[in-house]
A and B are shown apart, each in its own frame.
Chain A
Amino acid sequence: MFDLAAQGSQMSAVLTLSPLVVGFINKVKARFLRRSGPPILQPYRDLLRLLRKETVLADHASWLFRSTPYLVFATTWVAAALVPTFATGLLFSWSGDLIAVIALLGSARFFLALAGMDVGTSFGGLGSSRETMFASLAEPAMIMIIFTVSLIAGSTQLSEIAASTLSHYQLRVSFGLALIGLAIVAIAENGRIPVDNPATHLELTMVHEAMILEYSGRHLAMIELASALKLLLYLSVIACIFAPWGLATANGDARAFVYGVLAYLAKLAIGGFLLALFEVSTAKMRVFRVPDFLGAALMLGLLGTLLLFVSRSF
């Protein structure tokens, strides 16, 4: 019973915390740029506003267009619920490992790309084709990073990886390479500067925004929530693998859980701060330099895996 409550609270926690993380990052970015910025709770207000609005659909939009926001939201939420946030070994954490989490995000991206093609405008195709190119390099990079991390930890289950890192912290080369690679992939997958600008509406710079250009009202709210969940998921994955201190174990008591929650909130804050810092210090790349950027992540993952194949102490 307690297990079910813990799992349920994780699922609702990721849902409620994700707009907060987005609001926090926007606020920090604005502060760095000497602006006062929007309030931290602004994304909640935006979501509520969008939910109450009427949806405007293009004349020839199909049932796929209408059901994609719910499917994207569902797959992203399930993926986010599988990542340990404040506790490992929850009731259903064994139903999907890190590879399954990434594949679920791939499903979401598949549907979103199809929705971009659905309305039959050039912007949608633009977004889908650029997103496909980024994904064709970001996913292999992510898989190689998963290989590196799993070879060190001996498992692909996130709970096991966190436990292994906690028991003997690895300052290994391959671990460091995996961290840098994962940071690059996380930036690319979430459409942050330098890969994509989440606040733009210029054709030259749109990738994610171009795919969802035709969405409005509650559909747009679902998709925005899904992107926020994806960002939270990547921050949680980085925290779980590389900074697992404070994670409660499955048979911990209530105090351990409270510590876990506080540690998780702190990790989210630090992660959001670092992301905001990185975003304000670089400029957005040209689209055709992004394959080089992602290729670097792929090479880092490959190098890490190669080193681990060759010798156990790398």
Chain B
Amino acid sequence: MKQLYFDVAHLLAGGLVLASFVLLYQDRMSGLINVFTVQAILLSFSVGWQAHIQRAPHLYVTAAIALIFKALVIPLSLQNMIERMRIHREIEVVGGIGMTMLLGIALVALSLVVVLPATAAADPLAREDIAFALSVVLLGLLMMVTRRNAVSQVIGFMSLENGLILAATGAKGMPFVVEISVAFSVLIAFIVIGIFLFRIRERFDTVDLQELDRVRGDQR
């Protein structure tokens, strides 16, 4: 039975890593939002499974919050926002898919090398989940670094949050209060970013970061 716990937890965490990879090479807005939705659903299943094997009922609430906010509310409002800003048909220039994938694999290898030897004495399920979570965080950061469109950066930031939540649930015993505050801070950050995006769009008619750099006056 223990083996089944391991395997399903690993499958779900691995699915999260896979979703981060797919996010890396999406160049359409709608594709980005769909893959992010899939990632959020996988996150909620993963947290729910952790709740089952750790017998920690408060994690079910975390799973529900992730499902409702990150898989329903945020994607729907993002979809709404990009349609109002009329950028939902934009194709973004993404760096060569080969290079990005190789960098992604290198980052996964890096997180494995960092986490696994350092936690050799800990519970095997927890340490491997943390290794996967670190990979998701690093891949989210890679996405933020390689993108030019502000909406893609927001989604990269969100996937980074997903990785953090996975890490937090893997390490047993994250209190309820902390979880709610994390969720709310995410929501508020999202609202703020949304408002800013609208303002930027209104003023400059674009959310492309290179264009914004030019306006800022830093000619390169």
Shortest CB-to-CB span from A304 to chain B, Å, is: 9
Decide: A177 near B14, CB < 8 A? Known: A310-B116, A311-B116, A313-B6.
yes
Query: Given the complex, which residues of B lie within 8 Å of A313, measured CB to CB?
Result: 6, 10, 124, 128
B108 touches A171 (CB 8 A): no
Tell me if B8 is interfacial: C-beta within 8 Å of chain A. yes
Query: Given the complex, which residues of B lie within 8 Å of A314, measured CB to CB?
Result: 10, 128
Segment 268-314 of A: residues with Cβ below 8 Å from B: 291-292, 295-296, 299-300, 302-303, 306-307, 310-311, 313-314
Tell me if B98 is interfacial: C-beta within 8 Å of chain A. yes
Decide: A172 near B11, CB < 8 A? Known: A299-B105, A306-B108.
yes
Against A, the Cβ 8 Å flags (1 = close, 0 = not) of B18-54 are: 1001000100000000000000000000000000000
Tell me if B182 is interfacial: C-beta within 8 Å of chain A. no
Query: Given the complex, which residues of B lie within 8 Å of A172, measured CB to CB?
Result: 7, 10-11
A171 touches B8 (CB 8 A): yes
B4 touches A171 (CB 8 A): yes
B97 touches A177 (CB 8 A): no
How far, in whole Å, are A220 and B15 apart by their CA atoms in the complex? 43
How far, in whole Å, are A171 and B11 apart by their CA atoms in the complex? 7
Query: Given the complex, which residues of A lie within 8 Å of B3, measured CB to CB?
Result: 168
Query: Given the complex, which residues of B lie within 8 Å of A311, measured CB to CB?
Result: 112, 116, 128
B116 touches A295 (CB 8 A): no
Taking a contact as CB atoms closer than 8 A, the residue among A168, A295, A296, A303 that contacts B108 in the complex is A303
User: B interface, by DSSP: helix, strand, loop or mixed?
Assistant: helix
How far, in whole Å, are A170 and B124 apart by their CA atoms in the complex? 17
Tell me if B188 is interfacial: C-beta within 8 Å of chain A. no
Give the A-B pair count, Cβ closer than 8 A.
52
B109 touches A306 (CB 8 A): yes
How far, in whole Å, are A9 and B7 apart by their CA atoms in the complex? 38
Query: Given the complex, which residues of B lie within 8 Å of A120, measured CB to CB?
Result: none
A171 touches B101 (CB 8 A): no
B105 touches A302 (CB 8 A): yes
Tell me if B13 is interfacial: C-beta within 8 Å of chain A. yes
A177 touches B18 (CB 8 A): yes
B112 touches A171 (CB 8 A): no
Query: Given the complex, which residues of A lie within 8 Å of B11, measured CB to CB?
Result: 171-173, 176
How far, in whole Å, are A295 and B99 apart by their CA atoms in the complex? 11
Query: Given the complex, which residues of A lie within 8 Å of B101, measured CB to CB?
Result: 295-296, 299
Shortest CB-to-CB span from A289 to chain B, Å, is: 9
How far, in whole Å, are A310 and B24 apart by their CA atoms in the complex? 24
How far, in whole Å, are A306 and B13 apart by their CA atoms in the complex? 16
How far, in whole Å, are A314 and B101 apart by their CA atoms in the complex? 20
Segment 93-116 of B: residues with Cβ below 8 Å from A: 97-98, 101, 104-105, 108-109, 112, 116
Which residue on chain B has the smallest CB distance to residue A304? B14
B13 touches A173 (CB 8 A): yes
How far, in whole Å, are A306 and B128 apart by their CA atoms in the complex? 14
Shortest CB-to-CB span from B1 to chain A, Å, is: 13
Residues of A within 8 A of B (CB): 168, 170-173, 176-177, 291-292, 295-296, 299-300, 302-303, 306-307, 310-311, 313-314
Residues of B within 8 A of A (CB): 3-4, 6-8, 10-11, 13-15, 17-18, 21, 25, 97-98, 101, 104-105, 108-109, 112, 116, 124, 128
Q: A172-B10, A172-B11, A299-B105 are in contact. List 7 more A-B contacts (CB 8 A).
A: A171-B4, A173-B11, A173-B14, A177-B14, A295-B101, A306-B105, A313-B10
